[in-house]
Chains A and B, each alone.
Chain A
Amino acid sequence: MRERIHESLLDNGLKVLTVENPVSPTASLQLWYRVGSRNERTGITGVSHIFEHMMFKGTERYPKGTFDRAIQENGMTNNAFTSHDYTAYFENMAVDRLPIAMELEADRMQGLLLDADEFASEIAVIREERRQSREDPPFGLLIEAVEATVFLVHPYHWPVIGWMTDLETITRDDVAAYYRVYYRPNNAVLVVAGDVTHAQVVDLAKRHFGGIAPGPAVPPVRIQEPPQRGERTVRVHKDVQLPGLVIAYRTPEGTHADAPVLDIAEYVLFRGRSSRLYKRLIYDEPLATDLSGGFHVRRDPSNFIIRATARPGVEIERLRAAIIETFDSVALVPPDAKEIEKARKQITADLVFGQEHNFELGEALGSEECRSSWEDYFRFYETCMTVTSEAVAEVASRTFTERSRTVGYLIPEGGSR
């Protein structure tokens, strides 16, 4: 499949990445900006995500409402998502609509109105989004507290949606200044996956994006998180039925040689009913009602995280001990040949299934490209096919340590039910 991926760089710095995937007469266009909460500072946290909203509020050429209308009339599905390292906008469509999506994305790269009334209304919507996604769900505030404890100085300290206090004070001018710095062709990657050829995509990209002037290089993020010297603990009390845990281990950045090995550790620990964590916590003992987690691959040093809810009557410390023992087990009892073979088969299947859907394919490559390079998508696969059990155990012994651990407790308090 690698031979069906092509890249070009336009004169204004826009990178164009095409995945020629003629499995169905559709395409996914994704415009990735290399900006996320990582580029923010205290006082304007959440500003990257605000664009995910304001980018739909009209430009000089396409006033408010006309963008949505063009999307719907053409039967496209579209949305946007914001992460620590990137913000992406996408349109999925019948492939003959590709020029329309190109025009819409090129237009809002430069002509955004950022109307003051629209900003005031939308920031209220975002505060509701924060209440809905972070403040009411059982684990929302705990995950924020854990990340704020893992990262004391690096911008990964704050949540992508931003602190509520910043969402109450941020101004339209803060947002406009951010737009001028980061929304530039030289800070973006255009990904098209679908029933297209690279020549066709580059031709369209030149026509629609070619005239947009590049900006100065974006300011680098130099902040580095100092070393952690011991386990950290954080507690959140909430009106919930069952206690829960979030445990995070610090990890290196996505380009580090350990990163693909940690991806494989994720398969050994989390993937399938026979995985070590599922088998021990849900099946053998059983201590948890549910669990989820994995390696958060990011541009800067990141973390490996698990989230679990205790079964009724299970002591939270017992659950904590069992989780930590299972993480320790990767180094102490290295994955056997069967576990490694299983991970390889699962990863192979994932790679093939990932090609079924143009959106997923574009998303996988676009996110890798924003962290380092789309080639990492294949580096992971190649590492997996050659990695040894000893290598997994060795990386686990350096990563899953008491010193690099943060434990977050979700503690039920008397509710009204």
Chain B
Amino acid sequence: MKRMRRALDNGLTLLVMERPHLPVVSATLLLPAGTAAEPEEKPGVGFFASQLLPLGTRRRSATTLAEDVDGLGAALSTSCDFDFATVEISGLAADARVLLDILGEVALEPAFLPEEVERKRSQILGMLERRKDDYVDVVRNRFIRMIYGRHPYGRVKEGTSESVAAIAGDDIVRFYENAYGPAGSILAIVGDIREDDAARWVDERFGGWTRPGADPPLPVTIPPPAAGVTTVQQEVTQAYIRMGNIGITRDDPDHDAIVLTNYILGGSGFGSRLMKNLREERGLTYGVYSSFLPRKEPGYFFASTQTGIDTMNEAITEMLAEIRRFVDGGVTDDELSWAKKYFTGSMPLTLETNDQLAQKLLEQEFYGLPDEFWLRELERMQQVTREEVLAAARRKIHPEQFAIVILGDFREHRLDVPGIGTGDVIR
């Protein structure tokens, strides 16, 4: 596959991969404008700004823009994650130039009209209300607040009802002017497009882009471990459980060992230790998983499940016991060997679509990983030993320091797990 990387004078990095097998193209612009770039007193402003981008530019109203995008059979979306924001468009290759123009217009020339700000505010407030009924989400939000405290990774990306109500139009414009700029941004284009066409069109549309604002704030430091239990009372049929601790950065030298570690512990679905114990042997749950979320700054490790409230204590006890066993005893040669085989065999499945390839290119550039890191990581993974897995697990998983959050109906059931206390009850 033909690939190109080029840095524009204004700091924008352009990545192009030619894949002419299907007449479609996708372009994703990644900007260092995520939740972590928000001023501390304006939680949710990053998400708010990203959601307003498709709602009108200096050239087109929200309605005209929607008509034009839909009329091309294209898809335009924006997102805000902790480390970055994205603007993404995909459509038919014959429209490639128009698609890139729309992407540029949406990212570089948003109008932020007051009526659109109010319309979007009402929608975000409604969504925040609705999400109070998504109990997995409620537990996740409590959990990240416990482990990250005031650090931006502890925020709800969408903000809170109070913070969103208080965000003024000027706050959004200021955030946009400070955070949305070419320096540190990456544009990845994958599909049926010629490299030189892509480069020329991007030069024309993005070459004159500058950032008018000031630098975003420096993030606060991540606090020390916040071991403890939080319980949330809710009339539901299940208990929603999440436990874990601060994890790794994406460029952590242990990354490859950690990927194998997590796969065996709780990342491989039916074959994982957690699933074998809680689902296969005990029938306690439909699913139990663990995961490391690596980020620019240390992300986190967690294990989570849902079970009937009457089996809550057994499920928590078994999860903790299984994780402790893992950290004490490590993995067998057999487990390590099939985990390695899994990653070797499944590699082609992770490189199938234009979107998957665009994600890989962006990940490489954003986190400063070596070229074609996915191949190199696979090679390195084959060298990882049992001892290295055990050492990585001990360095990065600390059951004795876990933050634990449980949401459930505690009116007739009591949390009773030796060694973790009864928690601070929130109603």
Question: Which stretch from B70-78, B178-186, B293-301 is at the chain A interface?
Answer: B70-78
Q: In the complex, which of the residues B63, B129, B343, B349 contacts A289, with contact meaning CB atoms closer than 8 Å?
A: B129
Contacts of A135 in B (CB 8 A): 237
Q: In the complex, which of the residues A75, A279, A282 contacts B345, with contact meaning CB atoms closer than 8 Å?
A: A75
Q: In the bound complex, do residue A72 and residue B427 qualify as a contact, i.e. CB atoms below 8 Å apart?
A: no
CB-CB nearest in chain A for B306: A132
Chain A nearest Cβ from B234, distance in angstroms: 6
Q: In the bound complex, do residue B73 and residue A24 qualify as a contact, i.e. CB atoms below 8 Å apart?
A: no
Contacts of A346 in B (CB 8 A): 70, 73
Q: Mark B411-427, 1 if CB is under 8 A from A, else 0.
A: 00000000000000001
Question: Which stretch from B9-17, B103-111, B254-262, B282-290 is at the chain A interface?
Answer: B282-290
Contacts of B125 in A (CB 8 A): 311-312
Q: In the bound complex, do residue A125 and residue B238 qualify as a contact, i.e. CB atoms below 8 Å apart?
A: no
A113 within 8 A of B: no
Chain A nearest Cβ from B192, distance in angstroms: 10
Given A241-B129, A345-B72, A357-B353, are A136 and B236 neighbors across the interface (CB < 8 Å)? yes
Given A68-B271, A289-B123, are A312 and B352 neighbors across the interface (CB < 8 Å)? no
Roughly how many angstroms separate A23 CA and B356 CA in the complex, as a whole number? 14
Q: In the bound complex, do residue A92 and residue B24 qualify as a contact, i.e. CB atoms below 8 Å apart?
A: no
Given A128-B306, A272-B66, A356-B352, are A239 and B235 neighbors across the interface (CB < 8 Å)? yes
B91 within 8 A of A: yes
Q: In the complex, which of the residues A121, A282, A342 contacts B71, with contact meaning CB atoms closer than 8 Å?
A: A342
B348 within 8 A of A: yes
Roughly how many angstroms separate A327 CA and B119 CA in the complex, as a whole number? 23
B92 within 8 A of A: yes
Roughly how many angstroms separate A87 CA and B280 CA in the complex, as a whole number? 22
B130 within 8 A of A: yes
Q: In the bound complex, do residue B24 and residue A353 qualify as a contact, i.e. CB atoms below 8 Å apart?
A: yes
Roughly how many angstroms separate A342 CA and B285 CA in the complex, as a whole number? 45
B347 within 8 A of A: yes
CB-CB nearest in chain A for B232: A417
Roughly how many angstroms separate A328 CA and B235 CA in the complex, as a whole number? 39
Chain A nearest Cβ from B371, distance in angstroms: 21
A97 within 8 A of B: yes
Q: In the bound complex, do residue A72 and residue B74 qualify as a contact, i.e. CB atoms below 8 Å apart?
A: no
A416 within 8 A of B: yes
Given A121-B283, A338-B71, are A356 and B24 neighbors across the interface (CB < 8 Å)? yes
Contacts of A311 in B (CB 8 A): 122-123, 125-126
Contacts of B168 in A (CB 8 A): none
Chain A nearest Cβ from B351, distance in angstroms: 7
Q: In the complex, which of the residues B73, B130, B271, B352 contacts A72, with contact meaning CB atoms closer than 8 Å?
A: B271
Given A26-B348, A75-B344, A94-B349, are A348 and B126 neighbors across the interface (CB < 8 Å)? no
Given A93-B349, A346-B73, are A356 and B286 neighbors across the interface (CB < 8 Å)? no
B367 within 8 A of A: no
Q: Mark B53-97, 1 if CB is under 8 A from A, else 0.
A: 010000000110011011111100000000000000011100000
Q: In the bound complex, do residue A342 and residue B119 qualify as a contact, i.e. CB atoms below 8 Å apart?
A: no
Chain B nearest Cβ from A91, distance in angstroms: 11
Roughly how many angstroms separate A338 CA and B72 CA in the complex, as a whole number? 11
CB-CB nearest in chain B for A118: B280
Q: Which of B62, B63, B133, B279 has the most CB of A within 10 A?
A: B133
- Among A348-405, those with CB < 8 Å from B are 348-350, 352-353, 355-358
Q: Mark A306-329, 1 if CB is under 8 A from B, else 0.
A: 000111100000000000000000
Contacts of B284 in A (CB 8 A): 124, 128
Q: Mark B314-348, 1 if CB is under 8 A from A, else 0.
A: 00000000000000000000000011011111111
Contacts of B234 in A (CB 8 A): 239, 415-417
B270 within 8 A of A: yes
- Among A274-317, those with CB < 8 Å from B are 274-275, 279, 282-283, 286, 288-290, 309-312
- Among B212-254, those with CB < 8 Å from A are 233-238
Contacts of A77 in B (CB 8 A): 346, 349
Contacts of A93 in B (CB 8 A): 345-346, 349
Contacts of B345 in A (CB 8 A): 73-76, 93-94, 97
A154 within 8 A of B: no
Q: Which of B21, B70, B135 has the most CB of A within 10 A?
A: B70
Q: In the complex, which of the residues B73, B269, B283, B285 contacts A345, with contact meaning CB atoms closer than 8 Å?
A: B73
Roughly how many angstroms separate A275 CA and B284 CA in the complex, as a whole number? 44
Chain B nearest Cβ from A365, distance in angstroms: 17
CB-CB nearest in chain A for B161: A312
Q: In the complex, which of the residues B235, B238, B348 contacts A131, with contact meaning CB atoms closer than 8 Å?
A: B238
Q: In the bound complex, do residue B130 and residue A242 qualify as a contact, i.e. CB atoms below 8 Å apart?
A: yes
7 interchain pairs, CB-CB under 8 A = A23-B352, A24-B352, A128-B306, A273-B66, A282-B123, A289-B130, A311-B126
6 closest cross-chain pairs (CB), A and B: A75-B345, A289-B126, A349-B73, A75-B346, A345-B73, A124-B283
